[in-house]
Amino acid sequence: MLAGVTLFAIAPLRNPLPVAAVARTLPGSATIPGKAPVVPWPATGQAALSVEGVGSLGTSGGSEPVPIASVTKVMTAYLILTEHPLKRGEHGPKLTVSAAQAAAYPGELARGESLVPVVAGAVFTQRQALQAVLLPSANNMARILAAWDAGSIDAFVAKMNATAEKLGMKDTRYTDPSGLDPGTVSTAVDQVILARKAMRLPAFAEIAAQKKATLPVAGEVKNYNSLVGRDGVVGIKTGSTDEAGGCLVFAAVVKVGGRKVTIVGAVLGQPGANTPVQLDRVFKATRPLVRTATAALTAHPVVRTGDQVATVTGPLGTGTTIHAGKDLTVVGWPGMRVRLDVEIPAIPARLPAQTEHGQLTAVTDGGGAPVTAALHSGERLEPPSNWERIRQHR
């Protein structure tokens, strides 16, 4: 008996237990089943379509920088709201129209610009000024806001270009805050980058979704974007000039598997003899894009609760499994690949059954936001008994 006790005490020192081995059993990726969507790209111009937190559905029309008309005002409004943030419903500071700004109005009107009427001394809140810029696309109010923010239009344009560079809009160059100048150029891809950022600003998203607003001097004005309120569209900005054609940067919010998902896109360069025709054509090109993205989106469980992720092999035949503690569901479209990453910390000598241990992460191949689920142990893991160890080493 004493010899047995001595062997029992010494054996662990002479023969330390090996560390438990973990073998992954889950594939490294999965594919959402079904036929990949066919996007009805416009026959002319540029377009880009993406889903926030999911990925890109693609682009068309190349990547040559082109005039973007009043889509420019997305950057104007974004920059104003990042420099002077507003909460939802908040009006912010007041702007007073100067005599020089009011005196410029008749000449601007004679040139056929998109404007809101102003008079010297008229007072606009920051919110009202942004409504004038984003809804009836007022060039004069874009210039008034630019001077109010930066002291001069040139200084504001410099800030616009610096912001574009910071956001990674490598094919964009701004020459004015309104987009009237055809020297202001960009691409559909760059405008989607900006639109995604802008729609994260609560006040921007709130204003862009309005169908109308009441302004000083002008009274009631309407949103040029007639798609707002249809097919889930919640904004964001139209544009139209002879050089740019019909342009639209848009966002739509749809529900997928009980979760709100934002579709963001841009269509540039739609032809037409005048603004009404150009805008009509850009709206007709946009609606199929929104509907295709909406129809393609699905909530797909790539891993189900209880699915085995890994096996754990301990010493002397001990072991357990690691499995998903809940469904891991991603939002995407058929044909989209999903990368599955597994993180399992070192396995302790004792691991109770159904204990949270590790994490499973799914990321769509479009660079979407990661989705995670906790991992759980299966059967209880315990080290072999002393007697089992003694028997093993006899």
pLDDT at 392: 55
pLDDT digits (tens, 9 = 90+) for 302-357: 999 999 999 988 766 778 999 999 999 999 999 999 999 999 998 888 889 999 99
CA distance 182 to 298: 40
Residue spans per domain, the chain: 16-33+301-392, 55-296
pLDDT above 70 covers a percentage of the chain that reads 92
CA distance 108 to 391: 97
Q: Across all residues in the chain, what is the average pLDDT? A: 92
CA distance 38 to 50: 14
Helix (H) or strand (E) holding 58: strand 55-60
pLDDT at 174: 98
CA distance 133 to 235: 13
pLDDT at 5: 43
CA distance 307 to 301: 11
**Displacement of CA 243 from its chain's centroid (Å):** 29
Q: Specify the DSSP class assigned to residue 233.
A: E
Contact present, 70 and 178 (Cβ < 8 Å): yes
Q: Locate 38 and state its tokens.
A: 């066919």
Q: Give CA separation, 75 vs 105, 116, 190, 327, 330, in Å.
A: 23, 19, 11, 40, 32
CA distance 44 to 270: 7
pLDDT digits (tens, 9 = 90+) for 124-151: 999 999 999 999 999 999 999 999 999 9
CATH 3.40.710.10 fits domain 55-296: yes
Helix (H) or strand (E) holding 22: strand 21-24
CA distance 31 to 362: 11
pLDDT digits (tens, 9 = 90+) for 175-206: 999 999 999 999 999 999 999 999 999 999 99
CA distance 58 to 232: 20
Local structure of 101: helix, strand or coil = helix
**Displacement of CA 165 from its chain's centroid (Å):** 18
CA distance 181 to 260: 37
Q: Please, which pLDDT band fits residue 384 given cuts at 50, 70 and 90?
A: low
pLDDT at 6: 43
- Give the predicted TM-score (pTM) of the model: 0.87
Task: Look at residue 214 and tell me whether its pLDDT is greater than 50.
Answer: yes
Cα distance from N-terminal residue to C-terminal residue, the chain = 15
DSSP count for the chain of H helices, then E strands: 11, 20
Contact present, 190 and 170 (Cβ < 8 Å): yes
CA distance 310 to 24: 4
Contact present, 54 and 226 (Cβ < 8 Å): no
CA distance 162 to 9: 71
pLDDT digits (tens, 9 = 90+) for 231-277: 999 999 999 999 999 999 999 999 998 899 999 999 999 999 999 99
Contact present, 296 and 35 (Cβ < 8 Å): no
Task: Look at residue 374 and tell me whether its pLDDT is greater than 50.
Answer: yes
CA distance 376 to 366: 28
pLDDT digits (tens, 9 = 90+) for 19-57: 578 899 999 999 999 999 999 999 999 999 999 989 999
pLDDT at 302: 93
CA distance 16 to 4: 18
CA distance 75 to 93: 20
The CATH architecture of the domain made up of 16-33+301-392 is Sandwich (2.60)
pLDDT digits (tens, 9 = 90+) for 57-72: 999 999 999 999 999 9
Q: Locate 61 and state its tokens.
A: 């029309």
Q: Locate 45 and state its tokens.
A: 């111009």
* Alpha helical stretches, state H, 226-373: 275-296
Q: Which are the contacts of 16, defined by CB distance < 8 A and separation ≥ 6?
A: none
Contact present, 335 and 33 (Cβ < 8 Å): no
